[in-house]
């Protein structure tokens, strides 16, 4: 325990006729916890908490969420303020270093990102090895893991090397993402440019071509940069927990980041942004009002869910969705930029928010509900949506990896289980098995 945790009165646990005293503590925002790390040694019991719905896995000073009040803060700064006033590179620095950068620090960090943006030339061949139509998340996860073979990590990591590796990853993930898109459409790769800043550089690598200039639209650049900010961290979500879990074995950071990308891919996590757009497109194509999707999502015999709705932590509203909805409105109000899917999304949200099923379960639009519409407006193809989420989340994953590595002692993540399989039985030779 760090000295940021304040001890409270111990809790008493009664099991049969015995009572046990368990330490309790409180974090800086008043969150309270019972420390059960010695529970098994004391009592022979473990706790059972599938999906870690109620388990604090670590202490962290990076991101604070109050899901009941719709609060999200990075390093103490409100997400709404960061989204409005900051740029993604500043936010990445904030997450990784704990403070907003001063001008000189920001310049140094941006320069470092620019200098790290190229990937080893030999890696370009890898892109040719993937079958056409491969999902870019599969390519991204593979390529990020294979960075470890081109940029081996020394056994002893000093701070300067660690910072350099982190910059490599934040920068190279964007290059790999853009290259995988270019390969998927059979166009030549566009290299990162030293002259362009982070988000512009990415959009240029995605959309410029030797035979076509790409006019960078200020509003689009700003919207994508904001998208990255809003996705940059979200405390112990599924992919960040995977990063911490993989990192706790002291695996190399490229493998660790790749674990995060793989966990993010699923439709209940980052993959939801792609699914939301596919759902809205289907409603549009079929000319319905979305009732069918709502009814399916409510039907307990169907595995369907209303994509972009609900959240493990937010039981009021997701502050990221509020910012994105406004941004979407602004972007699509620009001359020539209309999207019928935005109207469908708004109607769907209205219907769901009046429906007792969603009200009683506190299911609100999450970050993925409106984000896809912004990406569509920028011309990003649907199968790249989760890749953009991964680019945004990279600084958060790495901030957690560093925080874990620098904690007093890295404890390998190794939950226990309650075994419910067969008890001991006698082995039967193959000809005796029925």
Residues with catalytic roles: 311, 368
Distances (CA, A) of 418 to 40, 52, 266: 13, 14, 26
Nearest approach in angstroms of CB 370 to ligand CMC is 12
- Phi, psi for residue 77 in degrees, rounded to 5: -95, 135
Judged by beta carbon, residue 147 or residue 367, the one nearer ligand CMC is 367
Judged by beta carbon, residue 93 or residue 364, the one nearer ligand CMC is 364
Q: What is the DSSP string of 383-410?
A: GGHHHHHHHHHHHHHHHHHHHHHTSSS-
Sole window of 131-139, 165-173, 191-199, 269-277 interacting with ligand CMC (rule: CB under 6 A)? 269-277
Judged by beta carbon, residue 221 or residue 352, the one nearer ligand CMC is 352
Answer yes or no whether residue 272 interacts with ligand CMC by CB under 6 A. Answer: yes
408: exposed, middle or buried (C-beta count within 10 Å: 0-12, 13-18, 19+)?
A: exposed
Mask 290-319, x = binds ligand CMC (CB under 6 A)?
A: -------x-------xxxxxxxx-------
Mask 86-115, x = binds ligand CMC (CB under 6 A)?
A: ------------------------------
Q: Would you state the structure tokens that stand for residue 221, as one six-digit string?
A: 């650049």
Subset of residues 248 to 267 that bind ligand CMC, contact rule: CB under 6 A? none
Is 67 within 8 Å of 311 (Cβ atoms)?
Answer: yes
Count the neighbouring beta carbons within 10 Å of the beta carbon of residue 414: 8
Sole window of 39-47, 60-68, 184-192, 366-374 interacting with ligand CMC (rule: CB under 6 A)? 366-374
- Integer-rounded Cα Rg, in Å, for the chain is 24
Answer yes or no whether residue 268 interacts with ligand CMC by CB under 6 A. Answer: yes
Distances (CA, A) of 87 to 235, 347, 428: 20, 31, 65
Answer yes or no whether residue 361 interacts with ligand CMC by CB under 6 A. Answer: yes
Judged by beta carbon, residue 270 or residue 396, the one nearer ligand CMC is 270
Residue from 368, 371, 375, 393 in contact with ligand CMC (CB under 6 A): 368
Distances (CA, A) of 213 to 191, 205, 216: 14, 11, 9
Is 250 within 8 Å of 155 (Cβ atoms)?
Answer: no
Sole window of 151-159, 188-196, 343-351, 361-369 interacting with ligand CMC (rule: CB under 6 A)? 361-369
Is 390 within 8 Å of 344 (Cβ atoms)?
Answer: no
Residue from 363, 388, 390, 398 in contact with ligand CMC (CB under 6 A): 363
Answer yes or no whether residue 269 interacts with ligand CMC by CB under 6 A. Answer: yes
Per DSSP, 290 falls in state S
> Which parts of this chain interact with ligand CMC (CB under 6 A)?
237, 268-270, 272, 297, 305-312, 361, 363, 366-368
């Amino acid at each position: 325990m760090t000295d940021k945790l304040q001890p409270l009165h111990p809790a008493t646990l009664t099991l049969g006729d015995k009572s046990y005293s368990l330490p309790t503590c409180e974090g800086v925002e008043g969150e309270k916890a019972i420390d059960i790390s010695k529970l098994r040694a004391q009592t022979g019991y473990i706790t059972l908490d599938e999906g870690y719905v109620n388990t604090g896995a670590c202490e962290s000073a990076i991101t604070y969420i109050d899901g009941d009040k719709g609060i999200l803060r990075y390093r103490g700064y409100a997400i709404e303020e960061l989204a409005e006033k900051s740029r993604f590179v500043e936010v990445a620095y904030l997450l990784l270093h704990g403070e907003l950068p001063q001008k000189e620090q920001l310049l140094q960090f941006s320069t470092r990102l620019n200098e790290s943006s190229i990937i080893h030339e030999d890696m370009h061949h890898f892109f040719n090895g993937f079958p056409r139509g491969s999902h870019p998340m599969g390519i991204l996860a593979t390529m990020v893991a294979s960075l470890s073979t081109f940029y081996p990590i020394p056994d002893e990591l000093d701070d300067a090397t660690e910072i350099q590796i982190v910059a490599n990853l934040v920068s190279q993930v964007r290059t790999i993402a853009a290259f995988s898109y270019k390969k998927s459409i059979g166009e030549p790769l566009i290299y990162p440019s030293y002259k362009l800043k982070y988000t512009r550089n990415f959009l240029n690598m995605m959309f410029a071509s030797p035979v076509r200039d790409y006019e960078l639209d200020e509003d689009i650049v700003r919207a994508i940069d904001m998208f990255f900010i809003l996705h940059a961290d979200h405390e112990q979500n599924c992919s960040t927990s995977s990063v911490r879990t993989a990192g706790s074995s002291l695996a190399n950071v490229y493998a660790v980041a790749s674990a995060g990308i793989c966990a993010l891919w699923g439709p209940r996590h980052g993959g939801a942004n792609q699914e939301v757009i596919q759902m809205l497109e289907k409603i549009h194509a079929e000319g319905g009002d979305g009732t069918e999707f709502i009814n399916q999502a409510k039907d307990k015999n169907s595995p369907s869910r209303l994509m972009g709705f609900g959240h493990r932590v937010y039981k009021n509203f997701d502050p990221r969705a509020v910012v994105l909805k406004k941004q979407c409105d602004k972007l699509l109000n620009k001359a020539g930029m209309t999207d019928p899917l935005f109207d469908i999304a708004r109607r769907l949200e209205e219907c769901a928010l009046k429906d007792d099923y969603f009200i009683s379960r506190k299911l609100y639009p999450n970050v993925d509900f409106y984000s896809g519409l912004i990406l569509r407006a920028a011309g990003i193809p649907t199968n790249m949506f989760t890749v953009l989420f991964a680019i945004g989340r990279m600084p958060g994953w790495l901030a957690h990896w560093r925080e874990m590595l620098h904690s007093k002692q890295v404890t390998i993540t190794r939950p226990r289980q309650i075994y419910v399989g067969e008890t001991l039985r006698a082995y039967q030779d193959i000809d005796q098995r029925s």
